[in-house]
Amino acid sequence: MKSREIHNVAVIGAGTMGHGIAQVAAQAGASVILNDVSPEFIAKGLERIQANLEGGIQRGKLTAGDRDQVLSRVAGEESFETAVADVDLVIEATPEKEDLKRDLFEKLGRLTPAETILASNTSSLGVARVTDPAGRPAKCVGMHFFNPPHIMKLLEVIRTDRTSEDTLRSVDEIAERMGKQVIRVKDFPGFATSRLGVTLGVEAMRMLEEGVASAEDIDKAMELGYKHPMGPLRLTDLVGLDVRLAILEHLERELGDRFKPPEILRKAVKQGKLGKKTGEGFYSWT
């Protein structure tokens, strides 16, 4: 059977990830509705899309005509019910809280047509656990984008035991139009990317704690020795120490002690040192 082509997309949550996901969906030629809890958040998301596109023009990647076309395909919508009423795909990009996401998927199950594909951008929660309340398991999938979505090429597609092949084909098809490279991963805690990413990060933190080397030298080890574009501690500063702690706590519960968050991380988060966003983490960003 031919998979359903995706023409209309709703993105729920216009924050760090949601606005960028809306942008790449519009660049893929889809009509996009961007929803958030308040008109200010939606307006901010739309402004950020505009700024990303201006940046693309400055770098010679886009023309003014491309920008206008993309902007004409994205609309903000305050009403959740209206935003999702008539779309082929919903991508949920709200905060990493299981109860919030489950509640949204329960509503999506009631408010969208039965054939609408429902995707979550969760970076660590179980996709089946989060999407089950929709009551439409064959149409539910994880679409894990990377930050910033308009630049990063990877899309990690998470299939649950009940995601259909048809749904996966539709997701592959829009991913290709978005210019993404897909990896397919089973619905297992931390998927592939978060699990590997935090493994390196957690070991780097333990090494810092044990006084093996400075943060700069630990990062340089991976940058120059292994050609990583950025060392694990600097990357943790960019992702957010609080975000990494939440992922580690989840993985410790699901997979055991090897993901136990190091004391140095807990202490930094307690002190409000969350990385670049607060001006200090493993590095000072002032």
Ligand X SMILES: NC(=O)c1ccc[n+]([C@@H]2O[C@H](COP(=O)([O-])OP(=O)(O)OC[C@H]3O[C@@H](n4cnc5c(N)ncnc54)[C@H](O)[C@@H]3O)[C@@H](O)[C@H]2O)c1
Q: Which residues bind ligand X (CB under 6 A)?
A: 12-18, 35-37, 41, 93-96, 100, 104, 121-123, 144-145, 147, 239
Residue-by-residue DSSP string for 86-98: T-SEEEE---S-H
Name the residue nearer to ligand X (CB basis): 14 or 89: 14
Name the residue nearer to ligand X (CB basis): 63 or 147: 147
Strands 31-35, 8-12: pairing kind: parallel
Tell the smallest beta-carbon distance from residue 251 to ligand X (Å). 13
Is residue 20 within 8 A of residue 145, CB to CB? The reply is yes
Joined tokens for residue 36: 């958030």
- Please state, as a whole number, how many other Cβ atoms lie within 10 Å of the Cβ of residue 195: 18
Name the residue nearer to ligand X (CB basis): 207 or 261: 261
Tell the smallest beta-carbon distance from residue 268 to ligand X (Å). 18
Tell the smallest beta-carbon distance from residue 162 to ligand X (Å). 21
Buried b (16+ CB within 10 A) or exposed e, 37-74: eeeebbeebbebbbebbeebeeeeebeeeebeebeebb
Is residue 45 within 8 A of residue 52, CB to CB? The reply is no
Tell the smallest beta-carbon distance from residue 83 to ligand X (Å). 9
Sign of the C-alpha dihedral computed for residues 205, 211, 212 and 214 taken in this order: positive
- Please state, as a whole number, how many other Cβ atoms lie within 10 Å of the Cβ of residue 271: 11
Tell the smallest beta-carbon distance from residue 127 to ligand X (Å). 11
Query: How far are the Cα atoms of 44, 81, 94, 140, 156 from residue 188, in angstroms, in the given order?
Result: 34, 31, 20, 15, 12
Name the residue nearer to ligand X (CB basis): 207 or 235: 235
Name the residue nearer to ligand X (CB basis): 84 or 207: 84
Name the residue nearer to ligand X (CB basis): 207 or 247: 247
Residue nearest to ligand X (CB): 15
Tell the smallest beta-carbon distance from residue 146 to ligand X (Å). 6
